Amino acid sequence: MNATPFVIGTIAVFAIAYRLYFSFVAAKVAVKNDQALTPANRLFDGQNYYPMNKWVLFGHHFAAIAGAGPLVGPVLAAQFGFMPGFLWMLIGAVMAGAVHDFVIMTASVQHDGKSLAAIAKAEINKVSGITTTFAIILIIVIALAGLGLVVVNALAESSWGTFTIASTIPIAIAMGIWMFRIRKGKTMEATIFGIILLVLAVVVGRYIPDSQFASWFTFNHKTLTLLIAAYGFFASVLPVWLLLSPRDYLSSIMKISVIGLLAIGLIIVAPEIKMPAFTAFGKGGGPIIPGKLFPYLFITIACGAISGFHSLVSSGTTPKMIMKESDIKTIAVGSMLVEGAVSIMALIAATSLLPLDYFTINVPVEKLQAILPRLHEMGFTESNIDQLSASVGEKIAGRTGGAVSLGVGMAYIFSSIPGMKHLMSYWYHFAIMFEALFILTTIDAGTRIGRFILQEAFGKIYKPFQRTDWLPGNLITSGLIVAAWAYFILTGTVSTIWPMFGTANQLLATIALAIGTSFIINRGRARYAWVTILPMTFVGITTLTAAFLNIKNIYIPQVKEASTLVPGLINLILTVSIIISVLIIISNALPGWIRSIRNRPLPKPLPREGGA
């Protein structure tokens, strides 16, 4: 299969969906009202509530939601073949992910920029609000710890990557001061300034490893963890316009530019997708994902189709900066569809490798020998692994996790462009640094969102915590969130709880869609509730199936073995807790939905200030 039709087709489908389907959703479901003052204007505090330029905020939101998921998940799921992952991302990004993000962001803006938990309390009941708070705190700590570990592993002993990413911090601060203090509203000036310095940082960074400054930017795992934790703390506490938003905006420019270049490269090179459309591993027994295609494809590929973590950003930092409600579609839907495109490009890049090379990279060396006969039976006999290793300058066999195979795939595409064949090593190391940049922007926003959740929860005990501009509350809650995820990285326990994150994340998406359904129905739009009910039902069924299979086939057997008792017990308890949370919230929401279908009166929504 040639990759070009898939690249062009993806862009066309997403563009049509944005123009037609989401115009319908905006008109009938997530209805906008530009006469109403948004929380950013009405509750302006100069710290967290701050009206932001649409494109700067788009950059922040995209950077915050696009972590490891759109890059790594599709690569790992390629063991099932190219087509399952492609179709899930193409359809899921439109019918599930973008709907999920759009509805939740609209609901948050119309609830003073409050969190998903606060929306659940207002739209369903108090029990649902408390249950959602528990689920969010659990998931956000696990997510930040897991993502932080990926960044630490990518940047450890890498002076090029560390220098380039560290450079984005002072550049972003300068951009923030320029856009919001010195030359207010001059976004283009700051953008040009930031892009020039970012390009210089990438170019100069390439020479850092061979310079006298290499030791300044070379750190071990522990030091890097502490440095990233410190960054997360300051990104959470400082005014949003000073560091978080401009840095995410700058990072998004780089992310989208690189993926855009990858798409152009794919069209120019027109590589063959060497992985079959479907493989025998769809029936189970795969060396990367042992389970069957259903349901495990749908929890392996999360962010590229739908992710519960997105609901935290859509009800966290972003709604507090929306300048007007008509901006929501561009920011929420646009970001999700771009992320879907990123995921598909990542899948194409990885599957452009020979299948045997793909498995050689993503399967541990000792395990590969055991499955090699089966791979040969499937027709995967040709390999260029030695040539690829020589070209990138590293031994890549057995480098599991998806990041390396994606880096090799991207480097292969870029170096296949005429005149760039000798630059494959450069492109490979650039791709690895690029992946770390992709993920770090989720950590800073995630920490701030976790702070908001804790402030809402602590505010029930001590009211000043509810004020997002109260400095002691900001410092305490930011410190607690950072300490929690940094602890799991430093102690190595993140590897214990990370396996259950995929199911927990998608169950959070189910919770968010249930809350979004209540939001729609409570506003008298029950006839359009199918927009959220359909993806909620599909994601809920697939993820609950995966959760029960994990409990039966993984966690209970682990509990029965003394050597795996602790991780098995932890994952079992956490998974069961999230399942119970989903069931509680849906069971509390259902009566309201049924009452609406039977045409019984529902409480009218509270009037919004600044317009009806």
At 70 the pLDDT is 80
pLDDT along the chain (612 residues), means of 10: 94 97 94 91 92 93 84 90 97 97 96 94 94 90 82 76 87 92 87 89 85 89 91 92 88 85 89 94 91 93 91 94 96 96 92 93 89 93 89 82 82 85 80 74 88 91 88 94 90 68 91 96 92 97 95 92 87 92 95 80 48 38
At 608 the pLDDT is 53
Distance of CA 170 to CAs 136, 163, 175, 195, Å?
Answer: 31, 12, 9, 13
- Collapse the DSSP code of 387 into the 3-class scheme (helix H, G, I; strand E, B; otherwise coil) and give the result: helix
Please, are residues 343 and 303 in contact by the beta-carbon 8 Å criterion?
Answer: yes
At 606 the pLDDT is 46
Contact partners, residue 538, CB within 8 Å, separation at least 6: 96
At 611 the pLDDT is 42
552's tokens: 């039966």
Cα–Cα nearest to 297, from 83, 97, 480, 104: 83
399: left (phi over 0), alpha (psi -120 to 50) or beta: beta
Vertex 352 angle, CA 276 and 371, to 5°: 55
Give the Cα separation of 593 and 590 in Å (integer).
5
305's tokens: 């189709």
Please, are residues 351 and 274 in contact by the beta-carbon 8 Å criterion?
Answer: yes
Phi, psi (deg, nearest 5) at residue 272:
-85, 135
Fold assignment, 4-156+219-597: Amino acid/polyamine transporter I (1.20.1740)
Please, are residues 105 and 325 in contact by the beta-carbon 8 Å criterion?
Answer: no
The string of DSSP letters for 522-563 reads TTT-GGGTHHHHHHHHHHHHHHHHHHHHHIIIIIHHHHTSGG
Amino acid code (one letter) for 477: T
Give the Cα separation of 576 and 380 in Å (integer).
39
Cβ neighbours, 10 Å, residue 549: 15
At 607 the pLDDT is 47
Residue 461: burial class (beta carbons within 10 Å; 0-12, 13-18, 19+): exposed
Which stretches of 206-290 are DSSP H helices? 221-237, 244-269
Vertex 547 angle, CA 544 and 552, to 5°: 125
Contact partners, residue 371, CB within 8 Å, separation at least 6: 287, 359, 363
Give the Cα separation of 43 and 319 in Å (integer).
12
Give the Cα separation of 221 and 495 in Å (integer).
15
At 496 the pLDDT is 64
Structural domain boundaries in the chain? 4-156+219-597, 157-218
Give the Cα separation of 189 and 178 in Å (integer).
8
Amino acid code (one letter) for 527: R
Give the Cα separation of 457 and 398 in Å (integer).
44
Give the Cα separation of 461 and 459 in Å (integer).
5
Q: How many CA atoms lie within 13 A of 436 on its CB side?
A: 24
At 409 the pLDDT is 87
